[in-house]
């Protein structure tokens, strides 16, 4: 079983920290589908130190989400340590995670995110400073390297361990790859052999079978699922069940998918307000609609929805049309 410090998970399936996605409404919904650990979207250390209102709201955690890992990012030791101390003393997060994987330029140009991957010594210095300053277990989310010429995955993971980090999550792509190409599981396997703390594998886990294969082929202690869970918390549920029993659970019906989409929206409304939540749900609704036959009108119309009622009317109108067609086919 996956264990980070003294935090024990019910299973090795972990929801990845995805920026702009993993707020409390989404995390709780995924948690209810069985995730062993959910990770919050990355939060700026400077935003925490300066008590920025939007940043403070991002620190909200529903007790039902726990155990939960809250991720911070930054490039300067002083502000990173201060932010970690605030999270340690003022939130109900179980784990403090440091982002060393975000590839976007606005993060890396601040010497944060994936920029750390170029310097194992900085990783040791920064992680040890945070570990010394907090009581909660500290972990790191990283990529295998900056580019093909700078893959310091083993050295970087070992630096985290030496600094007192309690686990590493590793995405099998370089910063230059972004989210393109193939994740390198061979490097993840070599990293696992080189450290004694838990390693969580990430990248190209799109089915329950992929999750099982990653665990077997790399020896990792946990498997992290990101984009495959967007609009599809059943991926988490089906993966947990498959790893437990080898049984591949059925995909949800269209109505079941829309029921959860609306539940997710209602939680987002409670978290942010209807105006903001409905606009944020447009992208989520598109993900929930992905793969649904007969979704054309709904996918086009979702960006015009202004209210909760608009979204509900659109989604269930589509469900009614699909179910009516299926009934007609059965009658024929």
Which pLDDT belongs to residue 303? 94
**Which residue's entry shows tokens 């709201």?**
57
What's the rounded Cα separation, in Å, for the pair 181 and 192? 22
Task: Name the binding residues.
Answer: 17-19, 71, 141, 171, 226-227
Residue in 22, 102, 261, 305 annotated catalytic: 102
Active site residue 39: no
Domain 254-331 has CATH 1.10.1200: yes
Which pLDDT belongs to residue 179? 85
Query: Is 276's pLDDT higher than 80?
Result: yes
CATH code, residues 3-245: 3.20.20.70
Query: Can you give the residue ranges of every domain in the chain?
Result: 3-245, 254-331
The SS3 call for residue 114 is: helix
Query: Is 294's pLDDT higher than 90?
Result: no
Which pLDDT belongs to residue 331? 57
Task: Name the binding residues for FMN.
Answer: 17-19, 71, 141, 171, 226-227
Query: Is 87's pLDDT higher than 80?
Result: yes
Query: Is 318's pLDDT higher than 60?
Result: yes
Q: Which pTM was predicted?
A: 0.94
Question: Which tens digits make up the pLDDT trace of 189-235?
Answer: 999 999 999 999 999 999 999 999 999 999 999 999 999 999 999 99
Q: Are 287 and 231 in contact (CB under 8 A)?
A: yes
Q: Which pLDDT band holds residue 326 (cuts at 50, 70, 90)?
A: confident
Angle, CA 199 vertex, CA 27 and CA 76 arms, to 5°:
75
Look at the alpha carbons of 55, 58, 60, 65 in this order and tell me if their dihedral is positive or negative: negative
- Please, what is the average pLDDT of the chain? 95
């Amino acid at each position: 079983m996956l264990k980070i410090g003294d935090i024990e998970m019910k299973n090795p399936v972990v929801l990845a920290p995805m920026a702009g996605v993993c707020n409390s409404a989404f995390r709780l919904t995924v948690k209810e589908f069985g995730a062993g650990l959910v990770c919050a979207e990355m939060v700026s250390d400077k935003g925490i130190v300066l008590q920025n209102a939007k940043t403070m709201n991002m620190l909200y955690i529903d007790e039902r989400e726990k155990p939960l890992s809250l991720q911070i990012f930054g490039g300067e030791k002083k502000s990173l340590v201060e932010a970690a101390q605030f999270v340690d003393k003022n939130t109900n997060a179980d784990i403090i995670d440091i982002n060393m994987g975000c590839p976007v330029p606005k993060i890396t140009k601040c010497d944060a995110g994936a920029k750390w991957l170029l310097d194992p010594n900085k990783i040791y210095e920064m992680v040890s400073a945070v570990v010394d300053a907090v009581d909660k277990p500290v972990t790191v989310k990283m990529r295998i390297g900056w580019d093909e010429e700078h893959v310091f995955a083993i050295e970087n993971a070992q630096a985290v361990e030496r600094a007192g980090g309690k686990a590493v999550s590793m995405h099998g792509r370089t910063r230059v790859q972004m989210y393109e190409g193939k994740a390198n599981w061979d490097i993840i396997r070599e990293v696992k052999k080189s450290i004694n703390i838990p390693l969580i594998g990430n990248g190209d886990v799109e089915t329950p079978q992929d999750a099982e294969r990653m665990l077997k082929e790399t020896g990792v202690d946990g498997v992290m699922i990101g984009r495959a869970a967007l609009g599809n918390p059943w991926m988490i549920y089906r993966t947990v069940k498959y790893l437990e029993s080898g049984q591949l659970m059925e995909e949800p019906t269209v109505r079941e998918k829309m029921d959860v989409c609306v539940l997710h929206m209602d939680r987002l409304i409670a978290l942010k307000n209807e105006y903001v939540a409905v606009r944020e749900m447009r992208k989520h609704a598109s993900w929930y609609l992905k793969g649904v036959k007969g979704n054309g009108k709904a996918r086009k119309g979702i960006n015009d929805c202004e209210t909760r009622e608009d979204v509900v009317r659109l989604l269930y109108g589509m469900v009614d049309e699909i179910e009516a067609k299926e009934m007609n086919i059965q009658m024929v």
